[in-house]
Structure 1
């Protein structure tokens, strides 16, 4: 496996595959419109990347960064090739690009009553295996609550808040609360 990353823009031949994967991989309430994602990706602090193994589309990431942290808004692996190490390879690339900065992301909390309970457990296990730690914080966005994971065990909450403000798209900034 030898991954390469290409910028997601109008010239990307797999733009429709990226859009389709976004729609399949994330609940509707977590999806920003593609035109807005592409527009914001013109900013120097946003990176919208499609990953390839040779010519094969493997997945994509959408990250927002500042001088202290990289926030992963989206990471999705092509559903036709999941469980083949591509997610780990993409995270390895992301952490290398972070150059020592913390990498943070949000996931749905564990809930044995949720329709996707097993998926939530697998997702948390995947990120833990790939060097992410559970933090003592949750992100509250509207009526949704998310666990915040980070590659820094001593979670720099102020850095996280600063970086998520960059992705607010001029809308509200979600709340960050310490778990009691």
Structure 2
């Protein structure tokens, strides 16, 4: 495995794969409005990264940075490569690329009341295995409740994340995304 992250945008040939996987890998209620993503395509603090193993396209990640905080907004591995270690290796690469930052992410809330509890529990286990821990608060965005995770040994306050996401979304989309903490 010779994994690398390569910045991509709509002008690159792999971006159609990024867009298709983005639409397929995440529930519709978790997708950011397309206009919001497009508005940040040239933003130095928000990057789509294609994941390659040599010349083979594996998936993508989307990271947003504010000061010393990097939020992994999306990470998706193409279905044919899932379960082969690419997700773990990608998280390692992200933490290396943003080594001077605190790296964080959201996962769907892990509670027994959800019909897909086992899948959510498995996802949490995956991130724990890859060096993330619960940050001690939950976030609601677009009406979906998430557990907030941060790289082991790092910490942050919910207000720091809310500043990042509200600066990213801007005043119009901040109302739509409606990011806020819950206990």
Q: What residue is the counterpart of 1:17 in the other structure?
A: 17
What does 1:52-67 align with in structure 2 at a 5 Å threshold? 52-67=52-67
Per the alignment, residue 79 of structure 1 pairs with 79
Change (3 A) 1:132 1:112: same
Aligned pairs for 1:123-138 (under 5 A) are 123-138=123-138
The number of residue pairs the alignment matches comes to 178
Q: Extract unaligned runs of 5+ from structure 1.
A: none
Q: How does 1:87-126 map to 2 (within 5 A)?
A: 87-126=87-126
Find runs of 4+ consecutive structure 1 residues off by over 3 angstroms. Answer: 33-36
C-alpha RMSD over aligned residues:
1.8
Tell me, yes or no, if structure 1 residue 176 matches structure 2 residue 162: no
Does structure 1 retain, via aligned residues, the 8 Å contact 2:68–2:101?
yes
Tell me if structure 1 keeps the 8 A contact 2:111–2:117.
Answer: yes
User: Partners of 1:154 and 1:49 in 2: how far apart?
Assistant: 23
Unaligned segments of structure 2, at least 5 residues = none
Q: Secondary structure at the match of 1:99?
A: coil
Q: Deviations over 1:31-90 (max 9, x none)?
A: 124454243121111111111101211111111101220011101111111111101111
The residue aligned with 2:162 is 161
SS of the aligned residue for 2:81 comes to: coil
Decide which structure has greater helix share. 2
Distance in 2 separating the partners of 1:17 and 1:166 = 28
- Which string of whole-angstrom CA distances, capped at 9 and with x for unpartnered residues, describes residues 126-160 of structure 1? 10011111011110224321110001545211332
